[in-house]
Structures are given as structure tokens and as C-alpha cells.
Structure 1
Amino acid sequence: MAFLDPPTDEELTRRAQSGETAALGLLLARHQAPMRAVALSLLGHGPDAEDAVQDAVVTALRRIGDVRDPAAVGAWLRAIVRNTSRMRLRGGRETPGLDWLDRPAPRTDEPSHPERVVDRHALRDWIWDAMAELPQQSRLVLMLRHFSGITSYQEIAEACEIPLGTVRSRLSQARGKLAEVLLRTATEAHDDASRVVEDSRREAELTLDGAIRGRQPREILELWPAETELVGILRTPGERCHPFPAMERTRRSGITQHLRHVVASPDITIWEMATVNPDGIPNPCPANLAWLMIREPDRRVRSLRVVFPRRTAADTDAPSAADTPDGSARSVGTGRPA
């Protein structure tokens, strides 16, 4: 009986670059041990070494299309771990590494772009399916950190009302679990994550339009039952509040909100908004805010928290002081939108 030779690194890399997630998963699994050895040699035994390997896996997912010598992909992966470990030794700033998945993919016919790039849709679906296996609390901080404009540790801590150290530990645990699940599920079929986002975008547009009109369509009303709770800074202290009265206050004040970005999973939704204040309003709303919603399995909204990041829209696309672990943010605003 003839046995097929296992695929070479070069073959797996080329298949991964052409959009085959199973090949990418096999490649990462094959090199996980030498990657860990590099981290251990620089950081010693402990959580830092494991975190460095996990971060390197995420980086490899993002940059596999940049590999110019597929036969030398092992050295490339070890170099990523080495750089990640050295950044940890220097106490370097940790930056988000997954937000590129929600950006439009560059055209592959441009001369400056590599011919082979991992298909963004397949990779996105793979990652979102893996994220679905994380505990909800861990998934929320991961979604904020890597997919929204609320990226600094301080912003996330205030948005979730948890200590800064809890943000760090949940992110570390979430990334470790994500890397583990990605390697385990590389060969499986994955749902279309873009459908969830597009459904959420349509829902957001209908909700905002209904808020402006002062009357929500039936399909939106069904998602906001009487037990839905408004939490956070907009809540009246000591009372259980439904979000609709806050929406009505916003409508009467003349403040309008415009959808900027949607991050969505079946049970967590983040709508990032830009706001416009009417001229002369005495208590203007900050220019940017986000709706953080926790949902029931049937998609009904369990709770809504409105968060007011300090940064502007331009700040979310470039490194700033707010990206550092000691950066500042606020979850309060002068206006009272919802």
C-alpha cells in the first residue's frame, strides 16, 4: 500500500495564501512546538511565553500573505515569536491585531499587492466561529479590543465596568483560547459571519430611523421587550430603566446619531455612532458613542449600555496615547443620548 508524503511547508504556505484555512491551521500546528521553544528561551516558563506564542499565531493569520519564501515559513513564524517576546521584555505597547478583518480587502490585481492572499471571508468566518466558543465576558473584551474603536485597556475597563487588571487577564485568556480553537477547527466548515453583521446593520438603521420618528416598527419592538434594561451612565439611579425613554429624550433634544461601524456576534452587538448636535444646545452630546448590547438566544436585547469614548473617529485609525494600557477614556458624557 502506498502512502502519500505529507505536504511540505512550501505547499501548505501556498495553499494558505490562496485561501485554504485548513492548510493554514496545519501549518501553525506543525510549527507550534518550535515557536514555543523560541518564546521559552527568551521569556522562560510562564504565562508570558504562552501569550507570546498566542499573539504570534494571530499575527501569522494576518500576515501569511506577506511570506515571500514559502519554503522558509518556519523561520518566519519563529521570527514573529522572537519579535513578540522581545516586545514583552521591553514592555512594549500592545496593539490590536484583528481589526483588519472588517476592512475592505485590497484588490489582488494591483501590482503592489501579493498575488496570493488568504481569502478574507474564509478567514473571518473561521475566526468568528472560534470566538463563539469563548465565554461571553471574554468575547466581549476581545470584540472591543480588536474589532471596535474602543481599544485601550482603560476604555474597555470603563465600558464593561471591570478593573483594568481584569481586562488584561480576560484578554490573555481569550487570545489563548482563541488560538487553541483556531488550530482545532481549521478543517471545519464555518458560518458566514458577514451575514450576522449585515443583519445587525439593517437592524441598527431601522432602530435609528424609528428613534427619529418616535415610533419603532414591529420587528424592532419585538427585539426590545419590557424586561430589556438600560444600564450604565444613562440609567436613572435606583430604578430599572428601559432604553426607549432615553431614545425619546434624545429625539426631543434634536440630537441625531449616524451609524459608523457594526461589530456583531449572535449574543453581543456593538454599534458605533457619530452624533450631531443641534445649534445652541446647552448640553451637547460627545461626537462619538457606542451601543453595547447583550442579547438572549432569540436575539432579544437583554441589556443596553451606552459608552462615550474620549477619542475622535480619526484617533481610532492611528496609534495614540489612548492605545496604551494607562490611556484614558470616559464612559460618561454631557448629553444623554441612547
Structure 2
Amino acid sequence: MSRSVQNGRFGEELDVTQGDAELVALAQAGDAAALGALLTRHEAGMRAVALGVLGYGPDAEDAVQDAMVTALRRIGEVRNPAAVGPWLRTIVRNNARTTRRGPRTLPVAEPEWFAQPATSPTPEEALDSGALRDWVWHAIGELSEPDRLVTLLRYFSDASSYEQIATVCGVPVGTVRSRLSHARRALAGGLRTAATTAHADVSAAGDARWREGRDMIATAMRGDFDRVVHESWWPHAEMVVPGGPRGGRDLAIRGMTTDLEAGVRQRLRNVVASGDVLIWETDLISPPDDPEHCPPGALWLQQLHRGRVRRITLFHPVPALV
């Protein structure tokens, strides 16, 4: 008799003895149980690759878990479903080799033969284009706020290196690694148990966050940032600039006013939201007569309480080396 688990999307029985190609097809159709079965099937081989490069220790486990998160994001782009095992092991090998060379500058290492063109979507866009989207965002939303915060920064923002995440969060790099490891274990563990319940479609909520962000940035660019702050921040909200000043709402208003008077403009480029964590990434546009006035971009990490900002961190990410 074939072994089976509950199908996470359709409520049917999933035959986990199916071949890789069949399981990939189901996973690409949005079946979390199928992806969980694939990862369970290939986990031993993935771990063997990591141990062969890094030896026993937390770095090897991180390389395996990173590959599982990559699978969540990229399963829809697998070109040869029958070769998903080598694909997963190649991701692990690249992650492990990058770890051995030194600090990583890219969110997740991809196989060379799986490289995407320059116009490939952002990690968030790639995830949102897949049917696994709702399960993944539900799983991220179930993480604790500290774990969710580092996960969103690592996989969905420009501040993706351990060092930059540590700076944004105000914690040691070791704490970032620990929180990411815990988050990845939770995500991978959720897949292994096949996620048998349906989850709400996140598209509407994501679209609302984008509209809200665009409206707020547009209002700020008209010189009404003080209105944005007073309407969406708690009176005692804290603003932090890593390596710079700390203050409250007045600090944010003064900073934005100074930039506007200097001719600086901002354009919303990315929005990432999960529960009470909201990230805006903006392009900073310097005035034509002073093109080096400001860094090229900003990351606004907003920690919310009942929908309003209780703490905001302003950070200027260092572009990833490629």
C-alpha cells in the first residue's frame, strides 16, 4: 500500500511515493504537502553535501535550511522537474561554498545553471507569483516578531546580509544567525507536516499596503509629512537611525523637511508586510545640481501596534556585490 499524506491545497490524499516530476508539478500548482514531501525525500542528500563542504556544525544546517527557503520561493521556476534533487543539492553546495569563503552579500545563493536574467523579479515578486504564496505568508506570519523581522529583511529586502540585518535590528550578528536558523526550521518543519489548512489570499492585503505606502509617500513629497506622521504614528513612537540620532516624531519630520528643502525626492520601490512588521524601500533621488547629496536608497522598517507605528528604523542599505 502506498504511503500518503493530506494534500495541503485540495484536501485530497497525496501519494508521497510519486516521482519527483509529479511532486514538483503538484508543488508548482500550489500544493505545500508536495513540496514538503520533496524536501523530506532529498533532505539527507542536501545535508550530506553541506557536511562535505563545511563539516559538522551550525553552518552546514544553515546551508540546508537556506536551500529549503529557496525552494519555497523558486519551485515554480524549476526547468527540469525530474532533476529537482540535483537542483536542491546545487543550491546547498553554493550556499556552503559562499559561507566558507566569508560573509554572504546575496540573500540566497542560486545554482549557476539556474541564474535568472537581469529583469528577473524580486524575491517577493517571485514568491507572490507562485501558488504557494498564501501558505508561505501565513507561515511567516506565525513566527515571533524578532524571527519574522530578520526573515523579511533577509529574503525580501536590500538589507539582506547578516551584518546589515544586525545593524537595522540593533543586535549582534550571532543573534541574527540564531533567529534566522529558528525561522528557517519553523518554515521547513511546517512544510514537512504538510500544512493541511487553507489560508487567506494575501493579494488584497498586499495591494492595500502598496496603495497606502504610495499615498503616504506622495503626501510627504507634497510637504505634508507631518500629517502622515501624526495620522499613522503613535504619539510616543520612537525613530532610530543606526549609528545616528534617536528621537520621536519631531526627528522624522525635521529630517524629511530638510531633505525636501534640499530638493531630495523619494519613490516607493518595494513594500513587504507581515503582521505588525512593515518595510518600505524607497529610491532616493538627489537634486540635479547635487547628484551625490544622498544615498541611492532607504529602508524604513516600521514596527506597528494596532496598525500604527510604534518604532521606525531608517537605514541605507549597501548594494549587494554581484
Any idea what the Cα deviations from partners look like across 1:244-270, whole Å, max 9, x if unmatched? 343333333432211111122221111
Once the 2 structures are TM-superposed, how far is the Cα of residue 163 of structure 1 from its aligned partner? Answer: 2.6
Q: CA deviation at 1:307?
A: 1.1
Q: Deviations over 1:299-329 (max 9, x none)?
A: 1111122112343xxxx5xx44xxxxxxxxx
Cα distance change on mapping 1:289 and 1:26 into 2, 3 Å: same
Instruction: Name the CA shift for 1:247/1:20 in 2 (closer, same or farther; >3 Å).
Output: same
**Rounded Cα–Cα distance in structure 1 between residues aligned with 2:101 and 2:219:** 51
Choose from 102, 122, 131 the match for 2:124. 102
Alignment of 1:144-223 (within 5 A): 144-184=153-193, 186-215=195-224, 221-223=230-232
Alignment of 1:251-330 (within 5 A): 251-280=260-289, 284-296=293-305, 298-311=306-319, 316=320, 319-320=321-322
**% identical aligned pairs:** 45
Partner in structure 1 of residue 233 of structure 2 = 224
Residue 200 of structure 1 and its aligned partner are, at CA, apart by 1.8
Residues 267-286 of structure 1 deviation map (CA, whole Å, 9 limit, x = unaligned): 11111112233355699332
Counterparts of 1:304 and 1:69 in 2: how far apart (Å)? Answer: 43
Partner SS state of residue 235, structure 2: coil
Q: Give the structure 2 partner of residue 8 of structure 1.
A: 18
Q: TM-score scaled to structure 1, two decimals?
A: 0.71
| TM-score, L = length of structure 2 | 0.75
Tell me how far 1:185 sits from its aligned partner: 5.0
SS in 1 for 2:233: coil
Q: Which residue of 1 aligns with 2:136?
A: 127
The yes-or-no answer on 1:17 pairing with 2:25 is no
Aligned partner letter, 1:305: T
Residue range with higher mean Cα deviation, 4-13 or 144-153: 4-13
Does structure 1 retain, via aligned residues, the 8 Å contact 2:123–2:155? no
- Contact residue 101 and residue 124 of structure 1 kept, 8 A: no
Cα-to-partner distance string for 1:47-96 (whole Å, 9 max, x where unaligned): 233223212322333444425253x6556545654565555556584631
Instruction: Tell me, yes or no, if the aligned pair for 2:24 and 2:81 is still in contact at 8 Å.
Output: no
Q: Secondary structure at the match of 2:298?
A: strand
In angstroms, what is the RMSD of aligned CA positions? 3.7
Is the 1:141–1:171 Cα contact (8 Å) retained in structure 2?
A: yes
Determine helix, strand or coil for the equivalent of 2:239: strand
**CA separation in 1, counterparts of 2:238 and 2:103?**
39
Q: 1:124: how far off?
A: 2.5
The yes-or-no answer on 1:54 pairing with 2:62 is no
Three-state SS of the structure 1 residue aligned to 2:70 is: helix
Which residue number corresponds to residue 330 of structure 1? Answer: none
SS of the residue aligned with 2:234? coil
Q: Partners in 2 of 1:86 and 1:287 — Cα distance?
A: 30
Q: What is the distance in 1 between the residues matched to 2:169 and 2:284?
A: 22
Residue 28 (structure 1) aligns with: 39
Q: Does the Cα contact within 8 Å between 1:210 and 1:217 map onto a contact in 2?
A: no
SS at match of 2:224: coil
- More deviation, 91-100/178-187: 91-100
Measure the CA separation in 2 of the matches of 1:187 and 1:259: 36
- Post-superposition shift, 1:140? 1.8
The structure-2 alpha-carbon separation of the partners of 1:293 and 1:119, relative to structure 1 and needing over 3 Å to count, comes to: closer
Q: Which amino acid aligns with 1:176?
A: R
Question: Residues 214 and 13 of structure 1: is their aligned pair in 2 closer, same or farther, counting only changes over 3 Å?
Answer: closer
Q: Separation in 1 of the partners of 2:72 and 2:173?
A: 28
For structure 1, which runs of at least 5 residues remain unmatched after alignment? Answer: 106-117, 321-338
The number of aligned residues is 298
